[in-house]
A and B are shown apart, each in its own frame.
Chain A
Amino acid sequence: MSQPLIRIAGLRKAFGRHRVLRGIDIDIEAGSSVILLGPNGAGKTTMLRILATLSKATSGDVQIAGVSVNDNAEGIRRYLGMVSHSPLLYGDLSAEENLTFYARLYGVSENDGRRDDLLQRVGLHHRRKDLVRTYSRGMVQRLAIARALLHNPPILLLDEPDTGLDPQAAEMMTDLLREIGGSERTIVMTTHHLERGLELADRVLILSGGRLVFDERISGLSYGDLRPLYDQYVGTGTP
């Protein structure tokens, strides 16, 4: 059996005495799209931040392409693109300047046309000279996706990227993610919007109380099937 692209083994995280993750084991194959569901405080964002090397696990290990984040976090970051509800952009820079800045951070050539190509793909090329603080929330999130894809990472981590978007903007973002996902890129996404998550994913994970309580491939699973399962495992709260 081939090595999974992402291997999470015995992952635990505590903030002081508060245990957020209580031993998570997950293997994620290259090219798969995984949605991570769970109520607030289940540990979804914490797990994603550990995957992104923004937070250290209390114990356990995360390996990406066979390399542990504890051994080479700097090298692993090249594999990752991240979009969260916070866009990681600068409102006082234009879209073009933001992407130029991130291109320099990632060592991406500024002259290979990738920046313009991405701005075209997310439909913001005509607004590239405008300051980001003049953008709508939906436009900011589309630019955040362009930022995350700038170095063409094989793994995209999405932490509730649809938070604060109106339905139309959220739909547009889902279409965009489906388009850029393809079969080559691995996507791990947390969301509170179960139906939208199902449109993108081929596997569903549910976290509750810091534990993985559900892990199934979707294959024909509809919202109608998943909703009762979700309620069964985490209760009838969100999403």
Chain B
Amino acid sequence: MKRYFQVVWAVLWKDLRIELRTKDVFTSMAVFAALALLIFNFAFELRIPDKSMVVPGVLWVTIAFAGVLGLGRAFISEKDRGSLAGLLLAPVDRSAIYFGKMLASLIFILVVEAFILPLIVVFFNVPLITAPLLLILLLGTIGFAAVGTIFSALAVNTRAREVLLPVLLFPVLLPLLIAGIRTTIGLLEGQSLAEHANWLQLIVFFDILFLVVAFLTFDYVVEE
């Protein structure tokens, strides 16, 4: 078991090290998210009387679209530089590679969220940075990274991989996005997290389901 976690850590360490050096993933995700927020801000200013009404949708859609950019790089960059085989040759249960990649993607998306939350507060003037909302964002992002990483591995051996990832991912993400948006609406309206226990349970169930599915299937997903 210790070896398993060593490999998870090795993959995570490697991805973080490369990202700290190149900033490729963060830059593309952050710039995309900032531009999306700017466009949403101007678009809704023209027609919506109270911009705070659209904040939950703007928040989750921006995270989803920006996140796909990062998730797409999780395995495609390994394939492009020809290093995927090096990972798969490791004498360890291959799901350890999945969890290393998933944790790296999770951290990248959380960093981008930390960057865009203050921007949303400024653009939309909504008190978004509260403990319950941060918890929902964290849980939702775990599910997003879990399913996105396995689909990124699935898409990597296909010809239209850049297109295939969002096409596969968004229909599966729909329950998570709906639950996230519903809970965020309630929290912004001053309701407590307990009043949205069903949505919260759905998010937690989604997270566990896809982490287990990925653990069981990753070896088959990356197999030729």
Residues of A within 8 A of B (CB): 49, 52-56, 74-78, 80, 82, 84, 86-93, 97, 101-102, 104-107, 147, 151
Contact = CB atoms under 8 A, between A and B. Distances in A.
Nearest to A49: B224
Given A49-B224, A97-B17, A90 B89 contact: no
A90 B11 CA distance: 12
A74 B93 contact: yes
Contact of A89 (B10, B86, B90, B224): B86
B212 interface: no
A101 B81 contact: no
A33 B91 CA distance: 23
Interface of B: 3, 6-7, 9-11, 13-14, 17-18, 21-22, 81-83, 85-93, 223-224
B88 A105 contact: no
B3 A107 contact: yes
B85 A82 contact: yes
A166 to B, nearest CB: 20
A77 B93 CA distance: 11
26 contacts: A54-B85, A54-B88, A56-B223, A56-B224, A74-B91, A75-B91, A76-B91, A82-B89, A86-B82, A86-B83, A88-B85, A88-B86, A88-B89, A89-B83, A90-B18, A91-B81, A92-B18, A93-B17, A102-B86, A104-B6, A104-B9, A105-B7, A105-B10, A105-B90, A106-B90, A147-B86
Given A75-B91, A93-B14, 10 more contacts: A52-B89, A54-B89, A54-B224, A74-B91, A86-B82, A90-B81, A93-B18, A105-B11, A105-B90, A105-B92
Contacts of A52: 85, 89
Nearest to A147: B86
B6 A90 contact: no
A78 B91 contact: yes
Contacts of B18: 90, 92-93
